[in-house]
Amino acid sequence: MSLTKSQDEIEKMRRGGHLLSRALKAAVDAVAPGVMLKELDAVAERVIAEGGGTPSFKGYRSKPSDTPFPTTLCVSVNEEIVHGLGNRERKLKEGDIVGLDIGCWFEGLCTDMAVTVPVGVVSEKAMKLIQVTRDSLMAGVSAAQVGREVKDISAAIENYVKPHGYGIVRALVGHGVGHKVHEDPHVPNFVSDRYPKVPIEDGMCLALEPMLGMGGDYHVETAPDGWSIVMADGSLGAHFEVTIAVTKNGTEILTPLPV
């Protein structure tokens, strides 16, 4: 399958991305102490449905033998970095931070995005982690240009994060997106010879998504529920993601961040 998208496909992804952004904003606006995770999931799913889209995470399987993911949103709290189940009756508490990751199909193409937000008043350290994660994402977006390489995106994110001492999760990386939920190429948030050199081509659509741990360690593990990926050191984790289209005319965020 082609790594690039046509202008018509990018336009469809743009419309789908704006719908996805509205759904995520609705979930972000609903975040408050005492709100259950499943309430956030219901809000996001309703907005996607009303806009003519279909959740891309709900029912998703990496391979046919996998158990399908059960919810529209991944809702990850505190040390949970990604893949937290959105159907839990767990209530958010003042001082928590919560990651909201969402994707949708629209007119046959999919987009993907995520934010991490505070619940009520949180510590200055938690707010700094959130801000650095968001800013590192924007550094990656700025580095995504036709004629450069994917590793330039990786280097921009890593170089932004390093002075702050946070751990950059290595087990999970960004990816191509559009025809499928996850496509080539891999887009790591760090520079590594494990990944092939991939030139950034006109029409390439990528999901950039830095994931950082406050404790400085990058190791993660799967929680007992079999879904949530948590920071192995138990520290707070933050995650931001946008879908971008890189063309000869510039780089566009197809999923505008709601915060």
- Arithmetic mean of pLDDT, 94-114: 98
Confirm whether 249 is domain-assigned: yes
In a domain, 139, yes or no: yes
Using a pLDDT cut of 90, give the percent of the chain over it: 96
pLDDT value of residue 2:
67
Residue-wise pLDDT tens digits, 41-82: 999 999 999 999 999 999 998 888 889 999 999 999 999 999
Whichever domain contains 100, its CATH number is 3.90.230.10
**Residue 19: pLDDT band by 50, 70, 90 thresholds?**
very high
Q: What is the pLDDT of residue 259?
A: 82
Per the structure, the complete domain to which residue 125 belongs is given by 7-253
- Rounded Cα distance, 142 and 136, in Å: 10
Band of residue 39 on the pLDDT scale cut at 50, 70, 90 = very high
Structural domain includes residue 58: yes
CA 29 to chain centre: 18
**What SS3 class is residue 98?**
strand
- DSSP letter for each residue of 103-137: EEEETTEEEEEEEEEESSS--HHHHHHHHHHHHHH
1 within domain boundaries: no
Q: Look at residue 63 in the predicted model and tell me its pLDDT.
A: 82
Burial (CB count <10 Å: 0-12, 13-18, 19+), residue 224: exposed
Domain assignment of residue 13, yes or no: yes
Contacts of 162 (CB under 8 A, 6+ apart): none
Q: In total, how many domains does the chain have? A: 1
Total-model pTM: 0.97
For 233-242, what is each residue's pLDDT tens digit? 999 999 999 9
**206 occurs within a structural domain:** yes
